[in-house]
Each structure stands twice: as structure tokens, then as C-alpha cells.
Structure 1
Amino acid sequence: MRVAVRRGLALLILAAATALGHALYTGALVVPERFNPWAPLNVMAEPNFLTGYKLSRSRADPERCLAALARTGMAYEPVPDRSTGVGCGFTHAVRLRDAGLRIGAPLTLSCPMALSFFMWEKHALQPAAQRHFGQRITGLQHFGSYACRNINTGEGSAPGAGDRPRSRSRHATADALDIAGFTLQNGRRITVLQDWKDAGTDAEARMLGEAHDGACRFFTGVLGPAYNAVHRDHFHLETGGYSMCR
């Protein structure tokens, strides 16, 4: 009897959930956009419990991704799809010229990477700078994005990997960016190499720690100095690979 009751209750909950999902999806039930999982990603809205899901959906669909990217206000231009070698090349990429802060030479990034970069910069990096210094970050120092190369293990590539696609770095598909430091509004420089500390108490270390942790919310993979010596001087940010936050 109890088994039958539990099964009946489970079926009732499933039916209710299915009906609710269908109503939301078709628009029969109107809920605020920020609480609707099928609503487009609002890049300007304060992140909530659905932001990660919406960002993931946008990154997985080129049309959604480009539509969301168009709402960021960043200056960029589409880059023709290209293949530059075994496991190297990109599709639906953009050349980022202006991200609201100085980035030096334009960056070639996949659409998912550019979108994640904006979300991180707006909703994690800048708030961290405001909390600890009361000012914006106006400049970014980086080690580049697209490069047809293998995973760096300290000797430059994965041992014995050759040119197999599975040994390629996410840089090889424009899905990664290495960030070395930041410049504040007053010209003050903060670098990963000099200011990162695992248990730092100064403002620079705290800001870098929050920037790293915030990146884990908006990128698929994040590696920093705590991961290994190869990353002692930069944050490696990527999309499309394995989920990691180190």
C-alpha cells in the first residue's frame, strides 16, 4: 500500500513538473525573465541561480551566443572560420578590439569565450576591484588567446603528444585566454606573479583571489598559481573543456 502511495505521489509530482515546464516553455505561464530558465541570457542583469544555465545554453548554440554577445556593448568583428593545422582553428570566432578596458592588441576568441569574458569582467572582476580599491580596472595584461599549440606541461607541450587533436590546448581553438595582470584607474598595476598569495591578507591578493573564484562561475575551466608552476604568473581561462577550478 505504501509503495503504491509513493509511486502515485511521484507520478503526480512528475506530471506537475512537466506541466509547469511546458507552460513556461510555451509562454502560457508568464514569469519574470530572470526566473525563466528558457529566457535569453541577460548579460547586464545581476547573476542569479539560473545565470550559469543560461550562459551554458548560450555558449552551446552559435546563434544564441552571437545574439548575447551583441548585447554586451563590446567592440568586435566576426572572424572567418579557419583551420590552421591538425586540431587547430576556430568557428564562430570574433576579434575583440575593445572590452571596455584596454586589452592591447585585439584578441581572437571563440564566441563562447568572448561571452564568458564579458560576464566575468562585468560581474566578478570589476566588483572585486571596487570592493578592495574603490575604483575600476581599466587595463588588462595577457599572454594571448589563439595559438595552434599543445597543452603546456612545463616543457611546452604534452610529452609524446605530437600533433594529435586530443593533446591540443584550448588555445588551439580560440577557447582560452591567459591573463597576467590588471591596471587600476589610478595606474596601479596588480600582477598574478607578484601579488598572488594562497592566504594573502593584502588588498591585491584578496582581489586576485576573488577574480580567480569569480572566473570559475563564468568559464568552464580556470587554472591559476595554486595549480602548478606553469601557471605561477597567470590565470588560464577556458571554455569547452573539462570543468575545473584550480
Structure 2
Amino acid sequence: MGALALAGYGWLRERPQDLPWTQLDLADPIGMFTGSKLAGLTDDFDQCRALLDRAGVGYDAADAVSRPDQPQCGYSDGIELSGGDEGLDLSPGGLETACPVAAALMKWKWDVLQPAARRHFDSRVAQVIHLGSYSCRRLYGRESGGWSEHATADAVDISGFRLEDGTRISVLEDWDGEGARAAFLRDVRDGACKLYATVLSPEYNAQHRDHFHFDQAERGASGRRMCG
């Protein structure tokens, strides 16, 4: 029994990504606690920026946004990712998101998105097409009720992709199809579920028929995650 415990301890020591108390490193493989550690960066902008710096990610810190008339809206931890190998080419450009969302996007690019593109198309993703991040609004644009993670730029909506070989993949047009495009979309959705607190797709409801919603909602000690 002792030998088994020692073997288990040795295995865990070699997998810091599967331990809740180890420091997050974007160079490590995705582990059991990678997503919760990313979401936990919401209140620590300095640590999130240091994480990006260690990984060599190109970015600019964004100016803080506040709404005195609507204190539930705004952000002070905004990041605008650069393009190229050390960043993420986004269309339209100039996207600002909360830092934990940006950090997860980079991890998603390296460990999920590009491997899926190589596997299904023998190509690379050249551009990720999005519908924006920050929007001062409540859930589903309602006049009352809870506030959307978009209200603090802690969410991003992804609508499609363009590959280096020119192939275009659309959530709206290809999710219900057959073959490589639909399989690719499901793979990148499933991979995002390991990195974000919430991932919603056309499988979740009609409001998401044309995009993936990724967010880093903090859900306290439960660490509950939502993937649909």
C-alpha cells in the first residue's frame, strides 16, 4: 500500500496541472485544474499578465472601462492580444477581453484549435472570427435579472474560423453538417470546456445557433463548470 501511495505521489509530482495548489503555467498540458485556475485569475490582473509574459504572449494592456451609471459594467483587466505566433489573429481586430479570457484563448489556440485543424484539415487556423466581448447588458439582453459575463468583458463569442489554406468554417453553417467541418467544431468546443467556466454552443439553445460563448464566470468554492 505504501509503495502504491509513493507511486501515486510521484505521478502527481510530474503532473502539476492536475494539482489544485500548483502555479498555473501555460506551457503545461491541460489538466484537471487548468480551467479553474484560469477563472481564478479574475481578481488578480498582475498575476494574469505575468502568466502571459512567462508564456511569451504578445499583448497590450487595455484602458479601464467604467460605467458610473451602471456599476455592474466595465473592466480594469482588459487585454488586447497581438496576432502572429505569439498571439492570436482575431477578426475583427482590436478585441479587448478580460485577461483570464485572453489567457484561455491562447491555451485553446495552442492545445486545442491548431491540433484540431491539423487533424481534420492538415492545415492551421489563420484567423478566429468573433462577435465581440464587452457589452453592458443582462443575460440574453433582458431588462431584468442577472448580468451577463459580457458586462465585465469576461466572455467572448466565436462565430467561425479561416484556415491558412483558405477554408472557412462557420458555426451557423457547419455545426449541423457532416464531415470534417462539423467534427472540427465539436472538437474545439469540447476542448474549450476544459479551459472556460462556461462554454455554450448551438447544442445548448437557439440563441447560440451561430456562435460559441466562452466565459470565465467565477462560481466560488464549487468550481462548477458548464459545457453545452
* TM-score of the superposed pair, with normalisation by structure 2: 0.81
> 1:192 is matched by which residue type in structure 2?
V
Corresponding residue for residue 203 of structure 1: 180
Q: SS at the partner of 1:167?
A: coil
Corresponding residue for residue 79 of structure 1: 62
Contact 1:97 1:107 in 2 (8 A): no
CA distance in 1 between counterparts of 2:116 and 2:215 reads 20
CA distance in 1 between counterparts of 2:101 and 2:34 reads 16
Superimposed CA distance per residue, residues 221-243 of structure 1 (whole angstroms, 9 cap, x where no aligned partner): 11111111111110011112553
Pairing partner for 2:190 from 197, 200, 213: 213
Kindly name which structure, 1 or 2, has the bigger radius of gyration based on alpha carbons. Answer: 1
CA distance in 2 between counterparts of 1:51 and 1:241 reads 14
Corresponding residue for residue 12 of structure 1: none
Corresponding residue for residue 125 of structure 2: 137
Contact 2:65 2:74 in 1 (8 A): yes
CA distance in 1 between counterparts of 2:202 and 2:32 reads 28
Structure 2 unaligned blocks of 5 or more? 220-224
The question of 1:40 aligning with 2:23 is answered yes
Question: What is the CA distance between 1:82 and its match in structure 2?
Answer: 2.7
CA distance in 2 between counterparts of 1:174 and 1:58 reads 14
Corresponding residue for residue 239 of structure 1: 216
Structure 2 CA distance for partners of 1:72 and 1:104, relative to 1, 3 Å? farther
Structure 1 unaligned blocks of 5 or more? 1-15, 22-30
> 2:139 is matched by which residue type in structure 1?
I
CA distance in 2 between counterparts of 1:32 and 1:215 reads 24
Q: SS at the partner of 2:203?
A: coil
Q: How does 1:1-246 map to 2 (within 5 A)?
A: 31-32=13-14, 34=16, 37-59=20-42, 61-84=44-67, 85-86=69-70, 87-98=72-83, 99-152=87-140, 157-158=141-142, 160-161=143-144, 167-197=146-176, 201-241=178-218, 243-246=225-228
CA distance in 1 between counterparts of 2:79 and 2:21 reads 25
> 2:93 is matched by which residue type in structure 1?
A
CA distance in 2 between counterparts of 1:180 and 1:217 reads 19
Contact 2:91 2:127 in 1 (8 A): yes
RMSD value, Cα:
2.5
CA distance in 1 between counterparts of 2:120 and 2:104 reads 23
Number of equivalences: 208
CA distance in 2 between counterparts of 1:52 and 1:239 reads 9
Q: Percent identity?
A: 39
Question: What is the CA distance between 1:146 and its match in structure 2?
Answer: 1.0
CA distance in 2 between counterparts of 1:54 and 1:175 reads 14
Structure 2 CA distance for partners of 1:34 and 1:233, relative to 1, 3 Å? same
Question: What is the CA distance between 1:53 and its match in structure 2?
Answer: 4.9
If asked which structure has higher relative contact order (CA below 8 Å, sep 6+), I would say: 2
Superimposed CA distance per residue, residues 80-104 of structure 1 (whole angstroms, 9 cap, x where no aligned partner): 3331241110022212232233433
* TM-score of the superposed pair, with normalisation by structure 1: 0.75
Question: What is the CA distance between 1:70 and its match in structure 2?
Answer: 1.7
Superimposed CA distance per residue, residues 32-61 of structure 1 (whole angstroms, 9 cap, x where no aligned partner): 573665442221222234534543444553
> 1:48 is matched by which residue type in structure 2?
G
Contact 1:220 1:238 in 2 (8 A): yes
Contact 2:175 2:202 in 1 (8 A): yes
